[in-house]
Amino acid sequence: MKQTILVSGLALALVLPQTASANNHSSDAIGAMMGAIIGSALSQGMLAAPQQNFTGSSAPSRSSAPSRSPAEIAEVREMQEALNYFNFPAGTPDGVIGRGTRSAIAQYQSFIGYPATGELLAHERMFLVTSFNRAASEPPARIQQALANPIGLRSLLREYSQPEEPAVVDAGKNATQPTVVSSTVIVATANSPEMQELQDEVDDLSDQVALLQAVVDHQRNSVASVDPEGAEARIEAVMALMETYSARLEEVETFSNEQYSTPIRPQNQNLGATARRLSEIFPKVPFYIAGTEEIGEMWVEPEVTDQGYLVFGFNFIDPMAEYDQIRETISFTANEVEIVSASLTKVDEWTDVAQENGVRRNFERLVNCIPDGACENLQEGVSSSAVVFQIYEDGSTAAKIQRNRGLFVSSYNFSVESGLMLSAYLDYMREVGMREFTTGTMTEDDLDSLFE
């Protein structure tokens, strides 16, 4: 099953810092964020390695040059041609999805009423291409009429998105002819490529919704008794995201029922998966680079080193890059992941303090440093990682994960809501990773003791 990457599947508002004028825990605000996202994980480790401190070591980027088939390139070109036709400028149809194409996709999605992610879901692409092919068969007079419309050829998209009135059938003369309910209905078998693509999309979304629910349940059942206020804030952030993904899942199911003769339902809501697989399912968390227009997404990958230690690689990704998308990886031990999680929740607490006191000035405060004390005075040859709380002049706040490689500093900023969601997921995956790592390192005697 292919994995649909939803850039951060999170909203643009989740990428940007939180404003003081908005309630930090407003699910409405978070829901609104989800509509403007551009584009789509971790595991919890356990058993600390024999007191080896990785100090958030930075791993070199791994090249991920994709190999695309001619069919895939042709598919992208057709999509670009369709976008250009309906006046969503995607540039030259070259089969490469770059920034211009993603901008055009977001414009198309916004026009139709889909979340403007810049990443086409299967049913969104199908409607675009089907409409493009249908417009090509329209008589010239119909095209001239559309061009005279204030919104031009986009008026055809709006027309095609509306179901047609049922045709009036004379039962005496045409008793065997079916009534046409919508001219956009596509008859497809369950095994057709179109149906399979929609099925994959439904499966991906249902997996993400189920995993988000598991994260919420973990906060309620395992964390709330220890940190009730922090758990409440994290649950609220994850629930807002889950509602958005549930709405998208319902949208795809509705589309398939309207367009195809075969309904589509989730087929693989089974989270009995490895920690590595769960890290791929969880929606990517958006970040931004302060002082620039660069944004990206992050996911956390659990892995066991050659020395046998469980670590979590925080992968910072540039989804717009055509080849090497991972711009940096910071590795943390299980104990360090726990520190990062607690630090992100502390940013939320300090945000409330800043808003209650009306703080509107540039301010930074270190929340935690890994290893402790290594972030105050940077030195060549010494590496460290930090979580930093930030306030801007407009009163907005953000969390920052900072990597210090000697005197060179790289920073990745997150909205407070993104930080809470990431914190909740770290808590959940830390437990999952610990359980998996423990089982994988058990001796025969350890296993025997389980079955006394």
Q: CA distances (Å), 448 to each of 89, 91, 167, 451, 452, in order?
A: 65, 64, 72, 6, 7
> How far is Cα 106 from Cα 433, in angstroms, rounded to an integer?
36
Three-state helix/strand/coil letters over the chain: CCCCCCCCCCCHHHHCCECCCCCCCCHHHHHHHHCCCCCCCCCCCCCCCCCCCCCCEEECCCCCCCCCCHHHHHHHHHHHHHHHHCCCCCCCCCCCCCHHHHHHHHHHHHHHCCCCCCCCCHHHHHHHHHHHHHHHCCCHHHHHHHHCCCCCCHHHHHHHCCCCCCCCCCCCCCCCCCCCCCCCCCCCCCCCHHHHHHHHHHHHHHHHHHHHHHHHHHHHHHHCCCCHHHHHHHHHHHHHHHHHHHHHHHHHHHHHHHHCCCCCCCCCCCCCCCHHHHHHHCCCEEEECCCCCCEEEEEEEEEECCCCCEEEEEEEECCCCCCCCEEEEEEEEHHHHHHHHHHHHHHHHHHHHHHHCCCCCCEEEEEEEECCCCCCCCCCCCEEEEEEEEECCCCCEEEEEEEEECCEEEEEEECHHHHHHHHHHHHHHHHHHHHHHHHHCCCHHHHHHHCC
Whole-number Å distance between alpha carbons of 9 and 282: 9
Q: What is the pLDDT along the chain (452 residues), one digit of tens a residue?
A: 333 333 333 333 344 444 443 444 433 333 333 333 333 333 333 333 333 444 565 554 444 444 567 878 888 899 999 999 999 998 888 888 888 888 889 889 888 877 777 888 878 888 898 889 888 888 888 888 888 888 889 989 888 877 555 444 444 444 444 333 333 444 445 556 777 777 888 888 888 888 999 999 999 999 999 899 999 999 999 998 888 888 888 878 777 776 666 666 776 555 567 888 888 888 888 899 988 878 888 889 899 999 999 999 999 988 777 677 889 999 999 999 999 999 999 999 999 999 999 999 999 999 999 999 999 899 999 999 999 999 999 999 999 999 999 999 999 999 999 999 999 999 998 888 888 888 888 888 887 887 87
Amino acid at 388: V
State the total domains in the chain.
1
The token pair that represents 422 in the structure block: 């990431």
pLDDT score of 39 = 36
Residue 341's CATH number: 2.30.31
Angstrom distance (rounded) from CA 245 to CA 381: 44
pTM of the model: 0.65
CB 20 within 8 A of CB 29: no
Instruction: Give a yes or no: residue 56 inside a domain.
Output: yes
Position 330 in a domain: yes
| Domain range for 304 | 42-64+282-443
Q: Is residue 320 part of a domain?
A: yes
Asked, for residue 191, whether it belongs to a domain, the answer is: no
Evaluate whether residue 386 is within a structural domain.
Answer: yes
What pLDDT score does 53 carry?
A: 45
Is the N-terminal amide bond of 371 cis, ω within 30° of 0?
Answer: yes
Of 313, 330, 286, 307, the closest CA to residue 429 belongs to 313
Give strand pairing partners of 328: 316
Tell me if 117 is assigned to some domain.
no
Q: Decide the pairing of beta strands 285-288 and 326-333.
A: unpaired
48 part of a folded domain: yes
Neighbours of 59 (CB within 10 A): 15
Between CA 416 and CA 16 the distance in angstroms is 9
Q: Is 432 a domain residue?
A: yes
Alpha-carbon gap, residue 114 to 120, rounded angstroms:
10
- At 51 the pLDDT is 38
